[in-house]
């Protein structure tokens, strides 16, 4: 019976520990994704305001510039606009956001901020596009800094919490 108990303890500890480590990884990844998103929007802004690249091509180039999972957003929006089925940029952006939310660790607040871009993207002059894209990038920078602070304290907390919880459960079961 001892081997069964030992196996149980190992499984509980591993399960809770992995859960804690996974939570810590998600916090760390959110910071990284916010940064990548900001850089991608900066690239898109230059494509729009300096080169005046049409939106589907600008999004395709931003997709190539950006890294996963941020690239998923631009890929989906570019693909949706490329279908030429009468989709507006707002609808395509909404589709892309939906896909991004299932692939990324971005929070609800991050996604809500990003959603505001859908109302404006493509459908105004270059100076207005620049203004909107800069504003979203600034807001993303703030979210990124907050996420970084949360990561510094939260990462260790979640890493330990998993194992501590596992130990508590083991003690209770014994």
53 binds other proteins (CB under 8 A): yes
For residues 79 and 167, which CB has a smaller minimum distance to other proteins in the complex?
79
Rounded to an integer, what distance in angstroms lies between the CA atom of residue 120 and that of residue 132? 8
117 binds other proteins (CB under 8 A): no
- The residue range among 32-40, 63-71, 111-119, 124-132 that interacts with other proteins, by the rule CB under 8 A, is 124-132
Closest CA to 25 of 102, 105, 111: 105
45 binds other proteins (CB under 8 A): no
CB 74 within 8 A of CB 96: yes
Rounded to an integer, what distance in angstroms lies between the CA atom of residue 91 and that of residue 46? 23
For residues 55 and 113, which CB has a smaller minimum distance to other proteins in the complex?
55
Min dist. Cβ of residue 58 to other proteins (A): 8
Closest CA to 68 of 111, 114, 37: 37
Among 18, 54, 141, 153, binds other proteins (CB under 8 A): 54
Beta-carbon contacts of 147 under 8 Å, excluding residues fewer than 6 positions away, are 27, 30, 31, 34
Q: What is the DSSP string of 83-94?
A: T-SS--HHHHHH
Among 1, 4, 86, 174, binds other proteins (CB under 8 A): 86
Report the interface residues with other proteins, using CB under 8 A.
48-49, 52-56, 58, 81, 84-89, 92, 121-126, 128-129
């Amino acid at each position: 019976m001892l081997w069964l108990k030992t196996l149980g303890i190992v499984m509980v500890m591993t399960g809770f520990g992995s859960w804690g480590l996974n939570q810590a990884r998600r916090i760390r990844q959110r910071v990284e994704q916010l940064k990548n998103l900001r850089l991608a929007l900066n690239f898109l802004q230059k494509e729009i305001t300096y080169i005046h690249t049409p939106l589907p091509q600008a999004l395709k180039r931003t997709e190539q510039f950006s890294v996963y999972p941020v690239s998923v957003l631009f890929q989906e929006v570019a693909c949706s606009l490329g279908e030429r089925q009468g989709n507006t940029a707002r609808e395509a952006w909404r589709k892309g956001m939906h896909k991004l939310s299932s692939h990324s660790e971005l929070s609800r607040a991050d996604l809500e901020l990003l959603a505001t871009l859908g109302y404006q993207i493509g459908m105004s002059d270059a100076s207005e596009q620049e203004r909107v894209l800069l504003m979203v990038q600034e807001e993303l920078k703030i979210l990124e800094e907050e996420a970084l602070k949360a990561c510094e304290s939260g990462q260790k907390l979640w890493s330990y919490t998993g194992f501590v919880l596992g130990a508590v459960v083991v003690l209770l079961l014994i």
